[in-house]
Chains A and B, each alone.
Chain A
Amino acid sequence: SAVISQKPSRDICQRGTSLTIQCQVDSQVTMMFWYRQQPGQSLTLIATANQGSEATYESGFVIDKFPISRPNLTFSTLTVSNMSPEDSSIYLCSVEAQGTGEQYFGPGTRLTVT
């Protein structure tokens, strides 16, 4: 298993601004994932971040809106750019246990855009 921390845990932001969410893992991992979740609902994968290469975005998500950095094997950031109220959600990062698909999640960042 892996221990994952996220910062901030929550934030309230004004529309038009940007927020960068940090994700730190206690061990080196190849792949990190960023998800979005409405409270009480399922997860939607935003992108997969591999160290040393550009993130791979899922359909409906673009780099200009959700730029991702992956500077090393234990850290990643997701920026939510030019926010609107529709971006209000919980953002989660996760890592995968090698080859199994099993995910270990951070506690999430609850974002509210006013």
Chain B
Amino acid sequence: TQLLEQSPQFLSIQEGENLTVYCNSSSVFSSLQWYRQEPGEGPVLLVTVVTGGEVKKLKRLTFQFGDARKDSSLHITAAQPGDTGLYLCAGFSNAGNNRKLIWGLGTSLAVNP
């Protein structure tokens, strides 16, 4: 069974601090996606990383895919209250006929003004 472990599960920080969220697995994924969900809304796709070692930046958010495509990280620089939400990683496996999206357990982030 493929699993995605996400850490930390909860994070409460002050505005201006930096943070990193980790997403780890023993399985290899074709790609890995990061979503953010705000209360009362569905998750919204932030980024997809595809190539081992790939780094993508989205303003103050930096996403990295591990060289072996088994893990990923999300780093937020100078967090702001608007970054508050649930961050979910999801690994996409496209091996043969077995297409599957595996979800991490989520990181609930609160950025306090």
Contact = CB atoms under 8 A, between A and B. Distances in A.
Given A40-B86, A42-B103, A42-B106, A100 B40 contact: no
A45 B90 CA distance: 12
Given A40-B86, A100-B31, A94 B42 contact: yes
B45 A103 contact: yes
Contacts, number: 51
Interface string A38-62: 0111110100000000000000000
Given A42-B103, A42-B104, A106 B42 contact: yes
B33 interface: yes
B95 to A, nearest CB: 12
Contacts of A107: 40-42
A102 B47 CA distance: 9
Most chain B C-beta atoms within 10 Å of own C-beta, residue among A4, A41, A102, A107:
A102
Interface residues of B, number: 24
The secondary-structure label for the interface of chain B is strand
Interface of B: 30-31, 33, 35, 39-45, 48, 86, 88, 90, 92, 94, 99, 101, 103-106, 108
Contacts of B90: 101, 103
Contacts of B30: 101
Interface of A: 4, 39-43, 45, 92, 94, 100-108, 110
Nearest to B93: A101
Nearest to B39: A39
Given A42-B106, A43-B88, A101 B44 contact: no
B86 A100 contact: no
B45 A43 contact: no
Query: What 9 A-B pairs are tightest by C-beta distance, nearest first?
Result: A105-B42, A101-B92, A42-B105, A42-B106, A42-B103, A43-B103, A101-B101, A105-B43, A92-B42
A104 B31 contact: no
Contacts of B99: 101
